[in-house]
Structure formats: C-alpha cells, structure tokens
Amino acid sequence: MVRFKGNRKACYHNRRGIELQVGQYCIVEADRGRDLGRVTYVGPGKPEWWSAAQDQGVLQAAGAADLARMHENRGDEWGFYDICREKIQARNLKMQLVSVERQFDHKKITFYFTAEKRVDFRQLVRDLAAVFRTRIELRQIGVRDEARLKGGMGICGREFCCSSFLQDFVPVTLKMAKV
C-alpha cells in the first residue's frame, strides 16, 4: 500500500520484486500516470485491495533525484494555488480552493475545491491550461474530503479518523447526529 499527498492511499502490485520497506518512497504507475508515494504496508494484504489494484504496479524505488523532484513539485504547488485563486476571483466563481497537487511526471495538475452548489468552471480550466501548459483537472470535494486532505486533530486529541484510517465515508443520518 502506498500513500500520496493529501492522504490518498492505493495498493500496487510489486511484480518486479523490488525490495521495499515501510516508510520508503517509490514510483508507481497509477491510472493518472507516474506518481511518487510512501510505502505504508508491504505484504499479502486483503483480497479486496488487490481487486482494486488492477494492473497498476510499482516501477522502482525512489532515488535522490526523485525525492528532489517531489520537493520541487510541492514548492511549485504553492505558486499554482495562488494563481488559481486569482483566476477564481477574476471570474467571480463561488468556490473555495482547498489544495493543489502536481503529478510527479508533470503531466497533470489537480485542483481540489469546495462549493455550495455546482460550479461551471470550464473557462477557468481553459485559463489554467493556458498558464501552465499541461492537463488541468478540477475536483469538487466535500467537507470530510477537505478534512482528509488537510489533516488535523479531532476533539479527542488524535489525528482525524478520515485522514488516518477511514477509507470510505458513510453518510451521517439524522438519527446518528442526534445521538
């Protein structure tokens, strides 16, 4: 299992037999292209993990140059965030930018945002594509997804459940909220 920025987790096959240990960084072939993440589990795992993994796999252990590129990407993301926020304000869109993630191979930039209602951001995507000259993806997320991306501490004093161990969000019913 590999964890990426924003607490995204996914399982990958290690068909090449690369020696990996928990805590080590590796490069994987994801559905979005090549990405770099930290190994969080090595072993047989649960059958449902592997059915979700499909044919994606670990390509190699990350080297010093790969880690430098990851840090460069993280630094660039702050600038991307500011540019996108300016474009959102210029277009007067009712959305709040939450996070930015640049894919390791620089082929795509994903912007995560929250909004009360549906937002028509097609022109914003064109504006951003013209600035960054790469594929742009905007993803609307909910407040629990935002908490997962940002992380933090709950009232119990521990890390948010949604960013540490919860995989799926079950809807909260009115009856649950009353208890």
* Averaged pLDDT for residues 20-41: 86
Q: Please give the structure tokens belonging to residue 45.
A: 């795992």
Residue 163 has pLDDT above 70, yes or no: no
Number of domains in the chain: 3
49 and 93, same domain (yes or no): no
The predicted pLDDT at position 55 comes to 64
Cα 82 to chain centroid, rounded? 18
Q: What is the CATH number of the domain that holds 102?
A: 3.30.300
| Paired strand residues for 108 | 135
> Where in the sequence is the domain holding 156, given as residue range(s)?
144-178
Strand 57-61 and strand 25-30: the pairing is: antiparallel
Of the pLDDT bands very low, low, confident and very high (cuts 50, 70, 90), residue 155 is: confident
- Which H, E and C letters describe 124-159, residue by residue? HHHHHHHHHCCEEEEEECCHHHHHHHHCCECCCCCE
128 and 92, same domain (yes or no): yes
79 and 96, same domain (yes or no): yes
In the listed set 62, 89, 110, which residue is the last one of a domain according to the structure? Answer: 62
46 and 95, same domain (yes or no): no
134 and 151, same domain (yes or no): no
53 and 72, same domain (yes or no): no
- pTM value is 0.77
Q: What is the pLDDT of residues 41-89, one digit of tens each?
A: 887 767 666 666 656 788 889 999 999 999 998 889 899 999 999 999 9
